[in-house]
Amino acid sequence: MTGKDKGARADIYARITERILADLEKGTRPWVQPWNAGKVAGRITRPLRHNGQPYTGLNVLLLWSEAMARGFASTIWMTFRQASELGAHVRKGEGGSTVVYASRFTRTEVDAAGGEIERDIPFLKAYTVFNCEQIDGLPDHYYQRPEPPADPLVRIEHADRFFANTGAVIRHGGAKAFYAPGSNSIQMPDLQCFRDAESYVAVLGHECIHWAGAPHRLNRDLSRYHKDQTERAREELIADIGASFLCADLGIVPELEPRPDHASYVASWLKLLDGDRRAIFQAAAYAQRAVTYLHDLQPQEDARQDAA
């Protein structure tokens, strides 16, 4: 990787981290912000590519934040070229939004002994996309907005099945929600302790992201969670982002009011991100991995994948 490539990559990390920091400094968690949107009357969802495939990881946060800041209700995004291939055009004067692509390539190098070795090189590339509301001439279905679900109880029942399918031991009682590594169980207050069922699902989703990180699952290192404030901040950032991804996938609108511990978490995240440009990228990646793990435990989803 050349010095120019390293510089460009560092600039992407810096620009995106500064943007997340700016939101946190206002007391706003950008990955939760869409749920507060008064104009969103339909089902909350992840941002979608032009082909209907959902974005993942950090790009979900970036596009949710862009949609809220610029008032977009459409969930679909595409590049200038993709719009042109569909016979459409981005309106003159419209500014695009940044998303990132991370991958790796293999390069053959010569070692000190003169032998050839293959080296795995990671790279990060930024590119620009536009929301469908910035584009004219697309087929009609790109402009359709999701209808509100007819029966919200169906959505909650679906969430209950989802969590049951994970096999996680979920115990109820008390006034705190937490994952207990020692007993490998999740402790939740009773449902009636929450303002509504959606809030319960959001909190349970948060704890399930912790649960997924156990050593015999995804093996995130939770050993220093209670000893190191920085490690605690990292893990809570992962769980908070992961819960938002999960709620979007389940069609659940999570809690509108912050938990009592969120103020201290926001302060710790500000400190973490200010000292580590890659922290938000890593947290989003770990959150995505945990959500994917929980989805992979769903028998119905497995059946659909086999059929495809």
* DSSP secondary structure code for residue 177 in this structure: -
| In 26-86, alpha helices (H) | 58-70, 80-85
Of 77, 48, 61, nearest to 241 (Cα)? 61
Only one residue has tokens 């349970």, namely 204
Could you report the per-residue pLDDT of 113-139, keeping only the tens digit for each? Answer: 777 777 777 777 889 999 999 999 999
Q: Check: CB of residue 273 under 8 Å from CB of residue 13.
A: no
Tokens of 53: 């495939």
101, β-bridge pairs: 125
Rounded-to-integer distance, Cα 266 and Cα 208, Å: 20
Q: For residue 10, what pLDDT is reported?
A: 54
DSSP 190-251: -GGGSSSHHHHHHHHHHHHHHHHTSTTTT----TTTTT-HHHHHHHHHHHHHHHHHHHHHHT
First to last CA, the chain: 39
Q: Check: CB of residue 37 under 8 Å from CB of residue 90.
A: no
- Residues listed for the chain: 308
**Ranges of the chain with pLDDT below 50:** 1, 33-42, 150-155, 256-257, 302-308
Rounded-to-integer distance, Cα 194 and Cα 209, Å: 20
**What is the average pLDDT score of the chain?**
79
Q: For residue 263, what pLDDT is reported?
A: 57
Tokens of 166: 């994970």
Q: For residue 264, what pLDDT is reported?
A: 63
Phi, psi of 202 (to 5 degrees): -60, -45
Rounded-to-integer distance, Cα 156 and Cα 25, Å: 33
pTM (global) more than 0.75: no
